[in-house]
Structure 1
Amino acid sequence: MKKPTDLESRILEILDSNIRLIQYSVYTVGLIGLAIIARSTHIFNKFTSAKSVPREFIRKAVKLQGKVNGIEYCQLPLQQVEGHQPNYALRFNVEHIPIARLLPWKDRKALEKSFLLDIELVGVHLTTLEGVDNLIKIPVESNPTIWFRLYGLNCETNHIYASIFLKRAWWKFWVERDLALIILKQNKGIVSPYLTNSQHIYFNEKYPAYYRKLLYCEIKYRKL
């Protein structure tokens, strides 16, 4: 066996005497790397307003999780709808649930509305409020945790356009639970006018394909 040189012996001696320091250095570098990744991906961030959501998330149509704290049916001005029947925009006040949590949070009985995301169901307006409690309110109250996919942002009103996915029952895991499609299939709504990007409104590149999907569903299930 080859005998180590003086230089090699000295290096081994230094490594042996500083093994703890080397280990801690490796751990520190690893933690710094994880911190950089976490900061760039926002996995620990809790979004409390439309402005806090990274524009990149909207551009990539990221799917996020949240808890519904309220539902609003906002009647649209008659000049914005066809015919004489009122249409309603469906909006949710949602508490965002981060992708990952560092520490368990204490549940608060009430959360200020200013810390909730204002999410409008994208692409579909309700044409009636009759029966929507059974269709929307009761399922959401029984399972307030939802998923929503980001499609756009209104910078003027600070609400987010997104598709809403209700929690699936375990025995119906194959059933589509996209709320917009459910509303169209039940003939409770219509596809809203297509909004284009402007100074105050932004939609990502994936929205046109989703909008076409809504139009196809409306034509398929429209009552004659």
Structure 2
Amino acid sequence: MRREDVNNMPETSRESETEARRGDGQQREPGSRPSHNVVSALSQLADDNLMLLRNISTGLAIAGLLLIARSIKLITKFKSASEIPPRFIERNVSLRGRVHSITEKGLEVEHIPIHLPVISSLLFNHKDASMSPLLVHLAGVELTAEGRAWLQKNLVPAQTVWLKLISRENDILHCLVSQSRGSIWTYCMNEEVLMLGLARTAPITVLPSSRFYWRLHKRLHRAEVKAVRKGRGLWKEDSLWERASKAIRDSALSRLMRRIFKKT
């Protein structure tokens, strides 16, 4: 249709054509509305339940950590040697403890488990006030009375130590006991008492075929050799005057003179 013809069309014809176009548009709109409404509804549902989904995922993660912590006894407080899993001793796991006392039987150490803020509070609703210390012996060491007194002086109650598990004998743990010195350095009490001549080396109750046994035996033997060379403690040699005095006291003439004076 030419432009002249359009311009010459009656007004009523043009209005009817416009209304027809509007009707076609209104007929096409209902077909697109359902898909738009579904997308909007899904988006709104996701927004409303986003916090719920996050809480569920967080809960599942915490539950998984709880199961792992229980299975490996990560945060369990051991109150006796029999409660410690055999794999801990086989792998020479280190436990943290707090010194309670030092007696003739050995060191009494309270185990301090690993503390995880969320998991520990969920597993233990209240703080365990009971205290049952572990009985610990210095592995590979035979203490003297002087050595025990030295430990009592240097391992005061409530002091934190590390216990490297070596073996278990009934309800006694044989360990390497380490103490922190500053923020970085630690030193082994087993080696320390040997180097000071306050103890002798003793048999280690581990498999002699293991590489760890020979490394530990070498460490302790080297510490004892240092004390012997420097004449410390048990290995201290008497001076010339002390040896001469002892020889005179033990001589036959000295014994005879003591008898004579006793009779008179």
TM-score of the aligned structures, taking structure 2 as reference length: 0.61
In 1, Cα distance between the equivalents of 2:55 and 2:158? 45
In 1, Cα distance between the equivalents of 2:82 and 2:189? 25
Q: Who is 1:81 aligned against?
A: none
Asked if 2 retains the 8 angstrom alpha-carbon contact of 1:69 and 1:94, the reply is yes
Q: Who is 1:129 aligned against?
A: 145
Q: Who is 2:175 aligned against?
A: 162
Report how far residue 205 of structure 1 moved.
Answer: 6.1
Q: Who is 1:97 aligned against?
A: 112
2:54 to 19, 23, 28: 23
Report how far residue 38 of structure 1 moved.
Answer: 1.8
Report how far residue 152 of structure 1 moved.
Answer: 0.7
In 2, Cα distance between the equivalents of 1:137 and 1:221? 21
More strand by share: 1
2:150 is the counterpart of 1:144: no
Asked if 2 retains the 8 angstrom alpha-carbon contact of 1:96 and 1:117, the reply is yes
Report how far residue 143 of structure 1 moved.
Answer: 5.8
- Note the 1:71-220 alignment, pairs <5 A: 71-74=102-105, 91-100=106-115, 102=120, 105=127, 111=131, 115-126=132-143, 128-130=144-146, 132-133=148-149, 135-141=150-156, 144-154=159-169, 157-169=170-182, 174=185, 177-196=187-206, 206-220=212-226
Report how far residue 106 of structure 1 moved.
Answer: 7.3
Aligned residue identity for 1:42:
K
Asked if 1 retains the 8 angstrom alpha-carbon contact of 2:75 and 2:114, the reply is yes
Aligned residue identity for 2:95:
L
Asked if 2 retains the 8 angstrom alpha-carbon contact of 1:150 and 1:162, the reply is yes
Report how far residue 120 of structure 1 moved.
Answer: 1.1
Secondary structure at the aligned position of 2:181 is classed as coil
Asked if 1 retains the 8 angstrom alpha-carbon contact of 2:98 and 2:157, the reply is no
Question: How many residues in Structure 1 have an aligned counterpart in Structure 2?
Answer: 189
Deviations 1:91-126 (A, max 9, x none): 111110111163584767xx4xxx221111101112
Secondary structure at the aligned position of 1:206 is classed as helix
Q: Who is 1:66 aligned against?
A: 97
More helix by share: 2
In 1, Cα distance between the equivalents of 2:46 and 2:67? 29
Asked if 2 retains the 8 angstrom alpha-carbon contact of 1:66 and 1:147, the reply is yes
In 1, Cα distance between the equivalents of 2:147 and 2:168? 29
Asked if 2 retains the 8 angstrom alpha-carbon contact of 1:46 and 1:97, the reply is yes
Secondary structure at the aligned position of 1:177 is classed as strand
Asked if 2 retains the 8 angstrom alpha-carbon contact of 1:151 and 1:206, the reply is no
In 1, Cα distance between the equivalents of 2:108 and 2:43? 62
RMSD over equivalenced CA pairs, Å? 3.1
Q: Which has the larger radius of gyration?
A: 2
Report how far residue 194 of structure 1 moved.
Answer: 3.8
Asked if 2 retains the 8 angstrom alpha-carbon contact of 1:151 and 1:204, the reply is no
